[in-house]
């Protein structure tokens, strides 16, 4: 049987600190690299672009489970341990190929929002900000492209 080429939500696995997050209904992420132009003397065009800050953000929407809050799961600090909260490791993998879709080795929960409606299940969205990331390609030196 051939391996599917497109990842679907049914094949995506979300792990937080190595634990499978069963009730996640949606995961989104963004990776943004801030490139700055390096100017040259007597030239109106920049000589090159230099990478600056890399920002990583992951948002997880899930069903609200009793006694399964981020504070109980030790993903979000309580009022008394905000200064000593450990980082959370986030990993999204393809169940069919076991390929890493995105991995954020160090992240912190920075926003938590919830929604309860009278005729549907309660949901929460957790937003994490991360330090570093990688995807299907593990970190390493870039090779120059043939021109």
What is the value of pTM for the model shown?
0.83
Q: 137 in a domain, yes or no?
A: no
Specify if 25 maps to a domain: yes
* Residue 130 to residue 96: CA distance in whole angstroms: 26
Tens of pLDDT, residue by residue over 29-69, are 999 999 999 999 999 999 999 999 999 999 999 888 888 88
Domain that holds residue 80: 12-131
- pLDDT tens for residues 79-97? 888 889 999 999 999 888 8
86: domain CATH number?
2.40.30
The pLDDT value given to residue 48:
93
Q: Is 85 contained in some domain?
A: yes
> Would the pLDDT of 147 be above 80?
no
In a domain, 142, yes or no: no
How many other CB atoms are there within 10 angstroms of residue 85's CB atom? 14
Q: Which residues pair with 100 in a beta bridge?
A: 93
Tally of domains in the chain: 1
Whether 115 is covered by a domain: the verdict is yes
Question: Which burial class, exposed, middle or buried, applies to 107 when counting CB atoms under 10 A from its CB (0-12, 13-18, 19+)?
Answer: buried
Cβ–Cβ < 8 Å for 29, 61? no
Q: Mean of the per-residue pLDDT values for the chain?
A: 88
Residue 139 lies in a domain: no
């Amino acid at each position: 049987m051939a391996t599917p080429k497109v990842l679907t939500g049914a094949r995506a696995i979300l792990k937080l600190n190595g634990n499978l997050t069963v009730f996640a209904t949606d995961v989104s992420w963004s990776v943004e690299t801030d490139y700055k132009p390096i100017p040259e003397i007597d030239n109106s065009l920049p000589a090159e672009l230099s990478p600056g800050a890399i920002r990583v953000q992951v948002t997880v929407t899930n069903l609200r489970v009793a006694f399964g809050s981020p504070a109980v799961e030790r993903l979000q600090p309580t009022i008394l341990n905000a200064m000593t909260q450990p980082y959370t490791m986030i990993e999204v993998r393809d169940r069919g190929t076991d390929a890493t879709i995105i991995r954020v080795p160090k992240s912190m929960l920075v926003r938590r929002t919830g929604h309860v409606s009278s005729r549907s299940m309660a949901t929460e969205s957790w937003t994490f900000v991360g330090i570093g990331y990688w995807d299907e390609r593990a970190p390493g030196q870039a090779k120059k492209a043939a021109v």
